[in-house]
Structure 1
C-alpha cells in the first residue's frame, strides 16, 4: 500500500494525535472512515457497472494479459517480425569460435612481460606519456 509499513503508519498516527489533540481526533477519525467507505463503494459501483455493461464477456476476459507490467516492446516487435511460433522453446544459438591471432598487441605485450626477468624494469615509452 504505497510503500507504507506498519511502523510508518504508527508514526503518522502518533503525529496526528499530537497535532490534532484529543478533542478533534475522534471527529477526523470518523471522517477518514467515511472517506474510505465512500471510496470502496465507488470502486465496487464502477466494477458492477462494467460487469453489467460487458455482460457475460466480463468473466471471459484474461485480466493478466492486460496488465501494463507485461508490456515489453522488444518482445512484441520480435514476435511481430518473426515467423516462428512465439510459444515454442527457443533454440540455443551456435557460436563459432574465431582463430586466435598470435600477432595481436595483447599477446605481444604478454610475451614481453613473460620475457622480463625478476628484477628487470618494465619497458617505458616516453612518447606515450
Structure 2
C-alpha cells in the first residue's frame, strides 16, 4: 500500500497522536472509525447494486480474471505470438506502394474527389 510498511504506519500513528494530543484523540478516532464504516457500507452497497443489475450472471463472472494485478504484458504478447489461428484470407499481400495504388485507381483525365467542408 504505497510502499508503507507496518513500522512506518506505526511511526505515523505515534506522531499523529502527539500532534493531536490526548484531549482530541478520542474524537478523531471516532471520526476515523465512522469514515472506515461509511467506506465499507459504500463498497457493500456498490457490490449489492452490481449484483442486482447483473442478475444471475453476477455469480458466473470470473472476478480473478478481471483483477488488474493479474495483468502481465509479457504473457499477453507471448500468447498473441503463440496463437496458431490462421490469418484472415481478406488480407492481400502488398505488391506495390500506396502511391502507385492511388495513381492507378483514378482514371486518367478525371478530377480527384474534393470535400469543400473539410478545408
Aligned match of 1:41: 41
Aligned match of 1:91: none
Are 1:83 and 2:98 counterparts?
Answer: no
Q: Please list every run of at least 4 consecutive aligned residues from structure 1 whose deviation after the TM superposition is greater than 4 angstroms.
A: none
Question: In structure 2, how many angstroms separate the alpha carbons of the residues matched to 1:7 and 1:71?
Answer: 30
CA shift, 1:9, in A, is 1.9
Question: In structure 2, how many angstroms separate the alpha carbons of the residues matched to 1:14 and 1:64?
Answer: 37
Question: In structure 1, how many angstroms separate the alpha carbons of the residues matched to 2:6 and 2:65?
Answer: 32
Question: In structure 2, how many angstroms separate the alpha carbons of the residues matched to 1:63 and 1:79?
Answer: 25
- Any gaps of 5 or more consecutive residues in structure 2? 87-119
Are 1:13 and 2:13 counterparts?
Answer: yes
Deviations 1:74-120 (A, max 9, x none): 1353255x328xxxxxxxxxxxxxxxxxxxxxxxxxxxxxxxxxxxx
CA shift, 1:29, in A, is 0.7
- Any gaps of 5 or more consecutive residues in structure 1? 85-129
Greater CA deviation, 12-21 or 68-77?
A: 68-77
Question: In structure 2, how many angstroms separate the alpha carbons of the residues matched to 1:59 and 1:45?
Answer: 17
Are 1:70 and 2:67 counterparts?
Answer: no
Q: CA RMSD in A?
A: 2.1
Question: In structure 1, how many angstroms separate the alpha carbons of the residues matched to 2:39 and 2:82?
Answer: 41
* Aligned positions of 1:1-129 closer than 5 A: 1-68=1-68, 69-72=70-73, 73-78=76-81, 82-83=84-85
Question: In structure 1, how many angstroms separate the alpha carbons of the residues matched to 2:72 and 2:9?
Answer: 33
Question: In structure 2, how many angstroms separate the alpha carbons of the residues matched to 1:34 and 1:20?
Answer: 18
CA shift, 1:67, in A, is 2.2
